[in-house]
Amino acid sequence: MIKTIKYLLLITLPVVLFSCEKEELPVPAHDPGDVITNSVTMEADYRFQLFFDLETNTMVKKNHKTDWDLGFETSVIGNKIILNSAKYMKAANTNTTNFTSVNDTVGYTFNIDMPSGSLDSTTIGNWTASNVYIIDRGFNELGAHQGFSKIEFISMSTTDFNVHFSNLDGTNDITMSIPKNDNYNFTFLSLSGNLVAIEPPKEDWDIAFTQYTHFYHNDQTTYLVTGCVGNRNKVEIAQVFDKDFSMITINDINNYSFSSNINNIGFEWKEYNFSTGKYIVFSDKNYIIKSIEGKYYKLHFIDFYDGLGIKGTPTFEFQEL
């Protein structure tokens, strides 16, 4: 799921270079909002995914992370399909169109969606009609494996996807139409056999608290982490690690690089201390979030525990700039 970073085209003529320099964003004079403190409860086993709107300071929706397996892109031309990385899901392309012949996982290479959320970096990718994919449905919050399914993506139109899937042994065989609705980022499917409502409408939230699968480039390993991701619809995030939270102002939107990678907040605002058996929260890691409405907020985390000392309750401060 790595979002592609856009590079500026270098032009050799100095005059052209000067005329194409990036202009600073106009910063209207206004008073910042109040500093707001809030928290969300994912539970100690991180079972919930929670969607939050900064403008209204509300948790818009929550769901159990095992409620879904696949998300189908909803735009008219959208053809991408994502895995539920909160369950450490993986998929393998069998490179065969013979659905009944696929009945085990031997010899297949399984991969994850990249954590950046880039739809150009999904495991299923630019799927070939009727190629059979094996889906590793990952694990629930207790660590129990959720089994394997096989699926073929038969067709895609401006209004829907058509898919055929079953358990790997051929039981629970289902052919289904997956409708598109551009009010949402994705339509969500559980491979148990039903469509499920997961994300709120894409204009109604800014950030989500969830587990997701991280990829460590240094040693090519993957790991299930707990953190905060952005809405891939319009939301952009800048990291501000060299300035105190109280000193960040609206003028700083011109001083830091914003990214549409959904994991630009991510999970590294905290770290597990093996000596104490507790998480340390780095309140000096700040983020500026350009919201759905085009407003700018600064945000940082100040705790990961509730009043009883139970983990899984990210507490954060944020302020409209």
With a cut of 70, list the residues of the chain below it in pLDDT. Answer: 1-30
Together in a domain, 188 and 154: yes
Single-letter amino acid, residue 149:
S
What pLDDT, on a 0 to 100 scale, did the predictor assign at position 27?
A: 53
What pLDDT, on a 0 to 100 scale, did the predictor assign at position 130?
A: 83
What pLDDT, on a 0 to 100 scale, did the predictor assign at position 25?
A: 53
What pLDDT, on a 0 to 100 scale, did the predictor assign at position 32?
A: 81
Q: How far apart are CA 18 and CA 257, in angstroms?
A: 20
Single-letter amino acid, residue 131:
N
Which of 196, 215, 236 finishes a domain? Answer: 196
What pLDDT, on a 0 to 100 scale, did the predictor assign at position 17?
A: 31
Q: Write out the H or E segment, with its range, that includes residue 16.
A: helix 14-19
Model pTM?
Answer: 0.89
Quick check: is 17 in a domain?
A: no
Nearest to 2 by CA among 90, 111, 84, 122: 122
CA angle 91, 81, 222 (to 5 degrees): 40
Any idea which residue has 């409860």 for tokens?
41
- Enter the tokens of residue 91: 């998929």
Which of 166, 196, 226 finishes a domain? Answer: 196
What pLDDT, on a 0 to 100 scale, did the predictor assign at position 26?
A: 57
Single-letter amino acid, residue 172:
N
Quick check: is 10 in a domain?
A: no
Together in a domain, 133 and 32: no
Together in a domain, 181 and 223: no
Together in a domain, 94 and 49: no
What pLDDT, on a 0 to 100 scale, did the predictor assign at position 80?
A: 97
- What is the residue range of 130's domain? 69-196
Together in a domain, 206 and 315: yes
Together in a domain, 188 and 77: yes
Any idea which residue has 């270098």 for tokens?
10
Together in a domain, 100 and 215: no
Number of domains comprising the chain = 2
What pLDDT, on a 0 to 100 scale, did the predictor assign at position 13?
A: 31
What pLDDT, on a 0 to 100 scale, did the predictor assign at position 2?
A: 38
Together in a domain, 213 and 119: no
Whether 209 and 315 have beta carbons less than 8 Å apart is answered as no
Which of 196, 230, 261 finishes a domain? Answer: 196
Together in a domain, 210 and 297: yes
Quick check: is 15 in a domain?
A: no
Quick check: is 165 in a domain?
A: yes
What pLDDT, on a 0 to 100 scale, did the predictor assign at position 295?
A: 97
Quick check: is 115 in a domain?
A: yes
Q: Please state, as a whole number, how many other Cβ atoms lie within 10 Å of the Cβ of residue 154.
A: 14
Together in a domain, 154 and 219: no
Quick check: is 14 in a domain?
A: no
- Enter the tokens of residue 181: 């609705």
Together in a domain, 189 and 88: yes
